[in-house]
């Protein structure tokens, strides 16, 4: 029986191309024609107050090679500079820390949260994805990615199948991805809960090779600094994603995904620290963090889109839980108002909440036994976060489109019930992180 694929389209196929699982969203309303490249480009600036700033550029190119055989290639570049929280606690006196390379150190003023300001990295990522019909109501997609930054390499591949039922009103999809990550930390891989050496020379800012810390010619240096450290570490990640897409009525489409992700290998952040404090809250030692070497995550994602007469309402909710005891809820919504036939305004809101990992602790008490696992990375602690944003977009007469968006993102880490001894009670162990994002898109 020859009932061929009906109104499949770039948008739906791209869904697979971007590793999203979905099927039956029908045709693209734009003027896309076979054998023409379509480019989506964007540049994003992300800046945190006093911390990290990031510039990220994306070029995504898509082409239908005929009859819905679609290729998508994507190039991402990002440059990161600035300081990030190390996990060590603030003190009411000046603190000194070694740089990750082991060469020199840095001082943190009294009352300040220790930030390592050497982070300076650039990353290049390449994605390629091929999507095509495999039968009357079946689509397949396969892709690869590679990402490289100074101390990190990530390689991955994925495959998905999407099967339509009930005149394409229902789509079931199954996706699998495998990712191999390799980290080669600056200064070598620190030992789990190993003691960070205190730099010998104490001064205000006394880097001997601060600027070289993340430079490419640096490999030999860090080997010398910590000759006994391990080098490269690996991590394997397998993801399985099951999706159900259902068209509810002429205006409503709903998606429900269930995903499992299993990571195995080196899951530490080699630059993160944990302070060991006494009952006065004074730091006695600074250790490198230790996370388990396996993590299994489950999540459920639900999304609904509703077509209004003059816009689109989009709402999604995600529940995630893992065997590190982190549970999170994410609620996100976008509301697109079409101002004219070819311009729109789109407010965006996102609310996020997570519980702490079972091994998260803001510091270790020196009179308690050393745990096997400990991390003071606030990203594994209890936290609320929200994002508010606004986007304006316009379609040009020649078919090109541009858009600009601004977003404000705030993270509010919380104390997950830890008593704060001595001076720590008077210090802010959980400062908020505030960030602005500005993004410009151009599509041609």
Partner 1 sequence: MKKINKLLCIGLLASQAIGCASLGVQPWERDLLAKEEMALNAEGVDLGLDDHIYFSKEATSGGRAFAGGGCGCN
Partner 2 sequence: MYLLRSLFLSFLVCLFGFSFQQMAHAKTVDYPAPSINFKSAFSFTNQTTQATDITQLSQLRGKVVYVDFWASWCVPCRRSFPWMNQMQAKYADDLVILAINLDQDPKLAEAFLAKLPANFHIEYNPSGDIAKAYDVIGMPSSYVIDKTGQVRLTHVGFFKAKQTQYEQSIVALINEVPSL
Kind of pairing, strands 364-365 and 273-277?
Answer: parallel
When asked if residue 312 is in the footprint of partner 1 (CB under 8 A), the reply is: yes
**Residue 306 beta carbon to partner 2: minimum distance, rounded to whole angstroms:** 17
Find out whether 348 and 339 touch, Cβ atoms under 8 Å. no
Q: Which stretch binds partner 2 (CB under 8 A): 21-29, 81-89, 196-204, 367-375?
A: 21-29
Nearest approach, Cβ of 339 to partner 2 (angstroms)? 20
Enter the tokens of residue 352: 């996020």
Helix/strand/coil (H, E, C) string of the chain? Answer: CCCCCCCCCHHHHHHHHCCCCCCCCCCCCCCCCCCCEEEEEEEEEEEECCCCEEEEEEEEEEEECCCCCEEEEEEEEEEEEEEEECCCCCCCCCEEEECCCCCCEEEECCCCCCEEEEEEEEEEEEEEEEEEECCCCEEEEEEEEEEEECCEEEEEEEEEEEEEECCCCEEEEEEEEEEEEEECCCCCECCCCCECCCCCCCCCCCCCCHHHCCCHHHHHHHHHHCCCCECCEEEEEEEEEEEEEEEEECCEEEEEEEEEEEEEECCCCCCCEEEEECCCCCEEEEEECECCCEEEEEEEEEEEEEEECCEEEEEEEEEEEECCCCEEEEEEEEEEEEEECCEEEEEEEEEEEECCCCCECCCEECCCCCCCCEECCHHHCCEEEEEEEEEEEEECCCCCEEEEEEEEEEEEECCCCCCCCHHHHHCCCCCCEEEEEEEEEEEC
Residues 274-293 that bind partner 2 (CB under 8 A): none
99: partner contacted, choices partner 1, partner 2, none (Cβ within 5-8 A by kind)? none
Q: Does 301 bind partner 1 (CB under 8 A)?
A: yes
Q: Which of 59, 128, 262, 404 binds partner 2 (CB under 8 A)?
A: 262
Q: Among partner 2, partner 1, none, what does residue 323 contact (CB within 5–8 Å per kind)?
A: none
Q: Residue 167 CB, nearest distance to partner 2 (Å)?
A: 5
CB of 194 to partner 1, least distance (A): 20
Residue 199 CB, shortest distance to partner 1, in Å, is 25
22 makes contact with partner 1 (CB under 8 A): yes
Minimum CB distance to partner 2, residue 200 (Å)? 42
Decide if residue 340 touches partner 2 (CB under 8 A): no
- State how far the alpha carbon of 278 is from the alpha carbons of 45, 268, 281, 338, 430, in Å: 41, 25, 5, 60, 19
- Choose, by CB under 8 A, the member of 79, 230, 232, 329 that binds partner 1: 329
9 contacts partner 2 (rule: CB under 8 A): yes
Query: Look-up: residue for tokens 């791209």?
Result: 14
Q: Which member of 123, 192, 210, 229 binds partner 1 (CB under 8 A)?
A: 123
Query: What phi, psi does 53 have (nearest 5°)?
Result: -130, 150
For partner 1, give the closer residue by CB, 62 or 98.
Answer: 62
Q: Does 232 bind partner 1 (CB under 8 A)?
A: no
Does residue 161 bind partner 2 (CB under 8 A)? yes
For residue 32, state whether it binds partner 2 (rule: CB under 8 A): yes
**Total of residues contacting partner 1 (CB under 8 A):** 106
Examine residue 237 and tell whether it contacts partner 1 (CB under 8 A): yes
When CB distances are held under 5 to 8 angstroms depending on the partner's kind, the choice from partner 2, partner 1, none that residue 67 binds is partner 2
Q: Does 66 bind partner 2 (CB under 8 A)?
A: yes
Please choose, from the candidates 338, 363, 353, the residue with its C-alpha nearest in 3D space to the C-alpha of residue 412: 353
165 binds partner 2 (CB under 8 A): no
> Could you give the string, one character per residue 91-130, with x where binding to partner 2 holds by CB under 8 A and - elsewhere?
----------------------------------------
Q: Which of 5, 285, 343, 353 binds partner 1 (CB under 8 A)?
A: 353
Task: Indicate whether 163 belongs to the interface with partner 2 (CB under 8 A).
Answer: no
Which partner, partner 2, partner 1, none, binds residue 299 by CB below 5 to 8 Å per kind? partner 1
Task: Check binding of 176 to partner 2 (CB under 8 A).
Answer: yes
| Site residues for partner 2 per CB under 8 A | 1-10, 26-29, 31-34, 66-68, 133-136, 138, 140, 142, 157, 159, 161, 167-168, 176, 178, 236, 238, 262, 264
């Amino acid at each position: 029986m020859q009932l061929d694929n009906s109104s499949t389209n770039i948008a739906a196929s791209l869904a697979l191309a971007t590793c999203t699982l979905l099927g039956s969203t029908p045709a693209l309303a734009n003027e896309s024609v076979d054998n023409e490249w379509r480019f989506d480009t964007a540049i994003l600036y992300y800046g945190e107050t006093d911390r990290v700033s990031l510039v990220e550029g994306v070029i995504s190119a898509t082409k239908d090679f005929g009859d819905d055989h679609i290729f998508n290639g994507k190039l991402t570049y990002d440059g990161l500079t600035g300081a990030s929280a190390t996990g060590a606690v603030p003190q009411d006196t000046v603190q000194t820390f070694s740089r990750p390379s082991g060469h020199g150190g840095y001082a943190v003023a009294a009352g300040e949260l220790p930030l390592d300001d050497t982070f300076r990295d650039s990353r290049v990522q390449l994605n390629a994805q091929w999507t095509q019909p495999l039968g009357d109501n079946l689509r397949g997609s396969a892709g690869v990615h590679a990402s490289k930054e100074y101390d990190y390499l990530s390689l991955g591949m994925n495959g998905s199948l999407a099967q339509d039922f009930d005149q394409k009103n229902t789509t079931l999809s199954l996706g699998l991805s495998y990712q191999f990550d390799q980290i080669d930390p600056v200064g070598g891989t620190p030992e789990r809960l190993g003691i960070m050496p205190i730099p010998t020379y104490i001064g205000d800012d006394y880097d001997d090779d601060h600027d070289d810390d993340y430079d490419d010619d640096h490999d030999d240096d860090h080997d010398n600094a910590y000759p006994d450290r391990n080098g490269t570490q690996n991590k394997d990640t397998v993801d399985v994603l099951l999706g159900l897409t259902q068209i509810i009525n002429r205006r409503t489409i709903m998606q429900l995904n269930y995903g499992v992700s299993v990571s195995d290998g080196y899951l530490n952040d080699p630059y993160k620290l944990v302070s060991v404090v006494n009952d006065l809250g004074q730091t006695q030692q600074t250790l490198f963090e230790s996370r388990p070497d396996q993590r299994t995550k489950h999540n459920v994602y639900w999304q609904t889109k509703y077509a209004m007469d003059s816009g689109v309402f989009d709402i999604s909710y995600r529940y995630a839980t893992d065997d590190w005891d982190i549970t999170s809820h994410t609620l996100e919504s976008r509301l697109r108002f079409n101002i004219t036939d070819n311009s729109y305004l789109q407010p965006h809101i996102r609310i996020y909440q997570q519980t702490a990992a079972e091994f998260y602790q803001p510091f270790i008490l020196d009179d308690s036994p050393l745990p096997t696992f400990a991390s003071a990375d606030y990203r594994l602690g209890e936290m609320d976060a929200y994002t508010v944003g606004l986007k304006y977009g316009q379609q040009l007469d020649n078919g090109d489109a541009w858009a600009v968006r601004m977003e404000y993102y705030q993270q509010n880490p919380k104390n997950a019930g830890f008593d704060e001894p001595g001076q720590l009670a008077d210090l802010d162990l959980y400062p908020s992180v505030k960030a602005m994002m500005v993004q410009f898109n151009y599509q041609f």
